[in-house]
Amino acid sequence: MSIRNSLYFISAGTIAILLLIYDWIRITIDLEDPILNGLRNILTVVAFVLLFAAISSMRSRKQSRPLEILRRLVAYGFFAAALISTWGVFLENKEGTSGGFAPQNVMELLATTAYAFGIAAFVVLLLMHVGDIIYIKPEKKVRRRFQLFLAFAIAAAVLSIFRGIPFLSTLVDIAFGVSIIVAVFHIVSMNWIVFLTRKEKYKSLVHSFVLMALFGYSYASIGPAELAGGVLQFYSVPMDEFAKIVFLFLTIYFSLAFVVTVFHIPTSGVFEKKKRELDSYQNLSKVITNVMDTTEVLNNTVAVVGTVTQASKVWIELRNANGGENESGKFKVSATHKTSQYELSPFSFDRLRGTVQVKKNVIVQTVDEFAGFDLKNFPAKSLLAVPLTAHDDFIGVLYAAHEMPYAFDEEEISTVSAFADTAAVAIQNSLLFTKSLENERLQHELRIAHEMQLKLLPTSFPCTEKFETDFLSFPAFEVGGDYIDYSVIDDNRYAFVVGDVSGKGTSAAFYMAFMKGVFQSLSASAKSPSEFMMAANEAVDSTLQKNYFITMIHAILDVRTGEVDLVRAGHTPGVLIGNNGCRLLRPAGAGLGLEPSKDFGRHLEEERIILEHGDTLVFYTDGVTDQRDPGGDEFGEERFYNLLSELSSGTAEEMKGGIIRALAEFSQGTDAVDDTTVLILKWR
Amino acid sequence: MNEFKVLTRDSGNAVVMELHGFLDAHTAPDLEKTFAELIGKGKYNIVVNFDALNYISSAGLGVFMAYIDEVRSNHGDIKLANMQQKVFNVFDLLGFPFLYEIYKDQEEALKKFNSQ
C-alpha cells in the first residue's frame, strides 16, 4: 500500500474516531446542536471522500471484460444487500423508525459506525465497477454524462445536510432528481451489451436481472421508514442521500440493461458474423503484410474467404506474369479452398473473367447465367467472382461458389471485395519480391555462365622460337558470342580461329560453345582451311536458326616456312603489318549459315601469305572497331589499323596492352556494345 | 535512343521498303514485323531502300536472312538498293552480294521486277 493510500485510511479512521467520540458524548448527554450536527455531517462527507479515494487508488487495474465486471457487481451487490438486511440483528431497538433511529449504547454506536462505513465502502465499489462497465466502448458523451451524474449525486448528498431549511430541501430534491434523470437518459446507450456474443448475452441477462433485484431491494431497504435507512440517516445524512441515489441509479441501470440485452439477443448472430469478418480481415491483413511467399498469401486468402462467407468452394486465378511465350498472360488457378485444380480443370472461366475485368464483381446464380458464361455443369448454384486489382493492374480473380442459389447478398459481396483488395496488393508485393529473388538467382546463374565461358577460351596461346601469340577477349555482357581458339595440327602446323556469332548475350554464348566443339573436332582432320570452313558451314547451316549466322576467320600456320593459309567466312579482314605497312587480308567468303554448302564452297577463296621476320598478323572481331566514345563516334577501322602499325614494333604481349589502353582511353568508360576479341601473331 | 522507322509503298508489282535510322538488335523486331506483314499479304516482290539507314548490326542483317527463303520459294525476291558505303561494306564483308541482288538505285531493282 502506498504512503498516500495509508494517509487516506489514517485520516478517514481519525475522523471516524473523532465522530465516534462526539457521538458518544451526543448520546450520553443527549446533545442536539444543529450547528455541531452540521459540522459532523460535513466531517462524514470528508471521511467518505477519503475512503473513496483510498479504495479507488487501491485498484490495480480496470476490468474491461463486461461479464467479469457483472460477476463482481453481483458479488458486491449481494454483500451490500446482505449487510443492509442483517443490520437489525445487533440492535435492541428494532421497532419502526419513523421517529428516527438513535443508538442506545456504545456497542450500538460502534456497530452503527461500522455499518455506515461498510455501506459506504460497498457503494464506492459498486460505483467504480458500474463506471467500468459504462466506460466500455463509450461514446464521449456517455463518459461526460456519467461524471455529471456523479457531480449531481454528490451535490445532492452535500446539500442534504441542510434538509431542515425549506429552500435548500427543495434544492436537494432537484439535485437528486436531476442526477437520476441524467443517469437514466444518458447511460442507456450501453455499448458493452452490443459486443457480447449470444452466449454472453444470456449470461448478462441473468446477471442484470439479479443485480436489478439486489439493488432494488437495497434501495427499498434504506428508505427513511426502514431500520437500515434510519441508521444511515443517523450516522450521516449525506451518506444516506448518496447511497439512495446510487442504489436507485443502479436499479434503474440494470433494469434497462436487462431490457436492452433482451432486444439485442436477436441481432447477436449478425453482429457475431460481422465481428468474425472483421477479425478475419485483421488476421488476413496481418498475415499477408508479413508474408512474402506468394503461395502462403494465396492460401491464406482463400481459406479466410472460405471461412467468412461459408462458401462451398473458393479459389484464385492469377495471371501468369512470366513464363514462356505461350504461358505469359494466361490465367491459372493458383490457390483453392474446398476444391482443387483437378475439379476446376474441365471449366473455362475466360468469359466470366472477361466480364469481371470490365464490370468488377459478377454474381452468377441462375441456370441461364451459368450457361451464359460457358459453365453449364458447374457444381454450384451461386458463383461470385471479384477482380484482384493492385495499382490499377488486373492481376487475377477471386471466386467463391455456393451450393445454394442466391447465396451471396450485397453485404457478403462487399466483404469479399474488401478481402480481394487487400489480398491483391499483398499478392502483387509477394510476386515482386519473388521476381527480385528470381532476378538475383539469374544474376548468379549468369555469373556462373560467365565463368564457364571463360573456361572455353584458351588460357594461353602458343609461343615457340619461331613465333609468339597473345589475345584478348571481353564479352560486352556477362556472356558473349565471340570465339577465339587454336589447335596444334602436327609438329609443324598450328590452326588459329577467331569467330563472331551474330547477336549478343546468352543465345550467342550457346553458339559460341557450339563453335568450340566444331573447331576442336574438325581442325585436326581438315587438310586445308577451306576444307575446315566447308565442314563448319555444313554443321552451322543445319544447326543455326535462319536469322543467326557466324562469321569466322581461320588460318593454318606452317612454322617451317612461315606460310599462312587463310580463309574468311564473312568475318572482318585479317591485318598483316610488315615492313611495307599494313595490308588487309580479305579473301571472298560468306558468313557461316548464310548459304547452303554448294554455294558456300563456290564463293569461298583461300589466301596464302608468307610471313617475314617481324611481321605481325592480327585477327579481330568488329567489337573493336564498333567501340564508341562518349560522343557516339566509332573507334573505326582506320584508327585501329594505324594503332596496330604504331604498336607493331613491340612484342605480342605489349601490343595487346597497347590495344587495351587505346580502347579504354577512347571509350572513356562508355560501355562496349559488342564483344571484343583480338588475336595477335608475331613472326620472329 | 536511336530511332528506326520503316515505310512501305507499292510500286508496280513490287513493294518498296524504306529504312530509316539505326537497325540493331533493339529495332530489328520492327523490321521483322514489316516483313511478316508483307508476306502475310502475299507480297513477295520487295525492294529495300537503304538510303536513309545509317547503321546496321549483325542482328539487323539476320532479319533479311530470316525471310529470304520463304520469299524465294514463292517466286519473289528481296532486292537491296541505295546503300550508303558504310552499310554496303558491312553487307559486302559478310558475303551478302553472293546472296542478294544489290543495286545502286531502287529503280533498277524495280525494273528488274517489272521485266519479269
| Residues listed for chain A | 684
Task: Assess contact for B66 and B34: CB atoms under 8 A.
Answer: no
Nearest CA in chain B to A590: B95
Amino acid at A118: G
Q: Which long-range contacts (CB under 8 A, 24 or more apart) does A368-377 make?
A: A373/A349, A374/A347, A374/A348, A374/A350, A375/A347, A375/A349
Residues B65, A595: C-beta atoms closer than 8 Å: no
* Grid cell locating A288: 499477408
Q: How far is B68 from chain A (nearest CA, A)?
A: 9
Which of A47-61, A319-333, A634-648 has the highest mean predicted lDDT (pLDDT)?
A: A634-648
How far apart are alpha carbons A572 and A628 in whole angstroms? 18
Side by side, the strands of the sheet bearing A362-364 are A331-337, A313-319, A393-402, A382-390, A362-364
CATH number for position A308:
3.30.450.40
pLDDT at A605 over 90: yes
| Same domain as A325, residue A231 | no
Name the domain boundary from A403, A436, A469.
Answer: A436
Best CA proximity match to B106, nearest among B76, B82, B86: B82
Which residues 580-599 of A have a C-beta within 8 angstroms of B?
586, 588-591, 594-595, 599
Beta pairing, strands A616-620 & A393-402:
unpaired
- A638 at B interface, C-beta within 8 A: no
Beta bridge partners of A584: A575
Nearest CA in chain A to B89: A572
Residue A451 domain flag: no
Residue A3 domain flag: no
pLDDT of residue A321: 67
Q: How far is B65 from chain A (nearest CA, A)?
A: 5
Nearest CA in chain B to A545: B66
| Same domain as A318, residue A202 | no
- B83 at A interface, C-beta within 8 A: no
Beta pairing, strands A362-364 & A382-390:
antiparallel
Residue A49 domain flag: no
- A499 at B interface, C-beta within 8 A: no
Alpha-carbon distances of B55 from A238, A290, A415, A673, B60, rounded to whole Å = 105, 51, 59, 13, 9
pLDDT at A679 over 50: yes
Q: In the 8-state DSSP scheme, what is residue A592? A: B
Residues A590, B62: C-beta atoms closer than 8 Å: no
Instruction: Kindly tell me the sign of the dihedral angle through the C-alpha atoms of A524, A526, A527, A528.
Output: negative
pLDDT at A388 over 70: yes
Question: What is the share, in percent, of chain A residues with pLDDT greater than 90?
Answer: 24
pLDDT of residue A325: 47
What is the per-residue DSSP string for A356-404? HHHHS-EEE-SHHHHHHTT-TT-S-SEEEEEEEEETTEEEEEEEEEESS
Nearest CA in chain A to B29: A547
Question: What is the share, in percent, of chain A residues with pLDDT greater than 70?
Answer: 94
Q: How far is A591 from chain B (nearest CA, A)?
A: 5
Residue in A500, A570, A572 nearest the CB of B95: A570
How far apart are alpha carbons A350 and A360 in whole angstroms? 15
The ipTM assigned to this model is 0.86
Nearest CA in chain A to B93: A570
Which positions in chain B touch A590 (Cβ < 8 Å)? 94-96, 98-99
- More reliable by pLDDT, A534 or B25: A534
This prediction has a pTM of: 0.57
pLDDT of residue A96: 47
| Same domain as A463, residue A431 | no
| Domains in chain A, number | 3
| Same domain as A513, residue A404 | no
- A549 at B interface, C-beta within 8 A: yes
- B7 at A interface, C-beta within 8 A: no
Best CA proximity match to A43, nearest among A158, A129, A145, A137: A158
Q: Which long-range contacts (CB under 8 A, 24 or more apart) does A134-138 make?
A: A134/A187, A135/A62, A136/A64, A136/A66, A136/A191, A136/A192, A136/A195, A137/A191, A137/A192, A137/A194, A137/A195, A138/A189, A138/A191
Residue in B58, B63, B99 nearest the CB of A595: B99
| Same domain as A246, residue A359 | no
Mean pLDDT of A161-179: 77
Residues B65, A547: C-beta atoms closer than 8 Å: yes
Q: How far is B59 from chain A (nearest CA, A)?
A: 5
What is the per-residue DSSP string for A546-582? TT--EEEEEEEEETTTTEEEEEEEBPPPEEEEETTEE
pLDDT mean across residues, chain A? 84
Q: In the 8-state DSSP scheme, what is residue A279? A: H
pLDDT at A7 over 60: yes
**How sure is the predictor about A189, in pLDDT bands with cuts at 50, 70 and 90?**
low
pLDDT of residue A670: 86
Sort A629 into a burial class: Cβ within 10 Å, 0-12 / 13-18 / 19+: middle
**How sure is the predictor about A327, in pLDDT bands with cuts at 50, 70 and 90?**
low
Residues A503, B25: C-beta atoms closer than 8 Å: yes
Side by side, the strands of the sheet bearing B45-56 are B4-11, B14-23, B45-56, B77-81, B102-103
Which positions in chain A touch B25 (Cβ < 8 Å)? 503-504
Residue A276 domain flag: no
Among A164-173, A401-410, A414-423, B27-36, which is the least confidently predicted range? A164-173
Phi-psi region of A666 (alpha: psi -120 to 50; beta: other; left: phi over 0): alpha
| Same domain as A81, residue A153 | yes
| Same domain as A427, residue A378 | yes
pLDDT of residue A94: 53
Task: Assess contact for A144 and A233: CB atoms under 8 A.
Answer: no
Mean pLDDT of A206-230: 84
Best CA proximity match to A260, nearest among A204, A217, A200: A204
Task: Assess contact for A590 and B99: CB atoms under 8 A.
Answer: yes
Name the domain boundary from A436, A469, A490.
Answer: A436
In a mutational test of the B interface, the residue from A504, A545, A547, A622 whose CB has the highest number of chain B CBs within 10 Å is A547
- More reliable by pLDDT, A102 or A590: A590
Residues A603, B61: C-beta atoms closer than 8 Å: no
Q: Mind listing the pLDDT tens digit for each residue in A522-580?
A: 888 888 999 999 999 999 888 888 778 899 999 999 999 999 999 999 999 999 999 88
Residue A93 domain flag: yes
Task: Assess contact for B44 and B75: CB atoms under 8 A.
Answer: yes
For residue A254, what is the enclosing H or E element? Answer: helix A237-264
In a mutational test of the A interface, the residue from B70, B94, B99 whose CB has the highest number of chain A CBs within 10 Å is B94
Residue in A546, A549, A603 nearest the CB of B98: A603
Mean pLDDT of A127-141: 77
CA A86 to chain centre: 62
Q: Mind listing the pLDDT tens digit for each residue in A464-496?
A: 999 999 999 988 888 888 999 999 998 899 999
For domain B4-114, the question of CATH label 3.30.750.24 is answered with yes
| Same domain as A217, residue A261 | yes
Mean pLDDT of A632-644: 92
Q: How far is B93 from chain A (nearest CA, A)?
A: 5
| Same domain as A93, residue A175 | yes
Number of helices (H) and strands (E), helices first, in chain B?
Answer: 5, 5
How far apart are alpha carbons A49 and A158 in whole angstroms? 11
**Cα-based angle A671, A674, A678 (whole degrees, multiple of 5):** 105
**Domain residue limits at A541:** 457-683
Q: In the 8-state DSSP scheme, what is residue A671? A: P
pLDDT mean across residues, chain B? 89
- B29 at A interface, C-beta within 8 A: no
pLDDT of residue B2: 63
Mean pLDDT of A650-658: 94
- A572 at B interface, C-beta within 8 A: yes
Mean pLDDT of A416-445: 86
**How sure is the predictor about A421, in pLDDT bands with cuts at 50, 70 and 90?**
confident
Q: Where are the domains of chain B?
A: 4-114
Q: How far is B10 from chain A (nearest CA, A)?
A: 26
pLDDT of residue A188: 62
Nearest CA in chain A to B66: A547
Q: Mind listing the pLDDT tens digit for each residue in B56-97?
A: 887 788 889 889 988 999 999 999 999 999 899 989 999 999
Best CA proximity match to A214, nearest among A74, A38, A319, A317: A74
pLDDT of residue A572: 94
Mean pLDDT of A347-373: 84
- A675 at B interface, C-beta within 8 A: no
pLDDT of residue A438: 87
- A575 at B interface, C-beta within 8 A: no
Nearest CA in chain A to B26: A503
What is the per-residue DSSP string for A643-668? HHHHHTTS-HHHHHHHHHHHHHHHHT
Side by side, the strands of the sheet bearing A574-578 are A467-474, A676-683, A616-620, A574-578, A581-585
Residues A603, B96: C-beta atoms closer than 8 Å: no
- B3 at A interface, C-beta within 8 A: no
Residues A500, B58: C-beta atoms closer than 8 Å: yes
How far apart are alpha carbons A51 and A7 in whole angstroms? 10
| Same domain as A296, residue A259 | no
| Same domain as A209, residue A296 | no
Residue in B59, B65, B94 nearest the CB of A551: B94
Mean pLDDT of A292-311: 83
For residue A499, what is the enclosing H or E element? Answer: strand A493-501
Which of A308-312, A664-668, B62-66 has the highest mean predicted lDDT (pLDDT)?
A: A664-668
**How sure is the predictor about A98, in pLDDT bands with cuts at 50, 70 and 90?**
very low
In a mutational test of the B interface, the residue from A548, A594, A625, A628 whose CB has the highest number of chain B CBs within 10 Å is A594
Best CA proximity match to A496, nearest among A468, A538, A475: A468
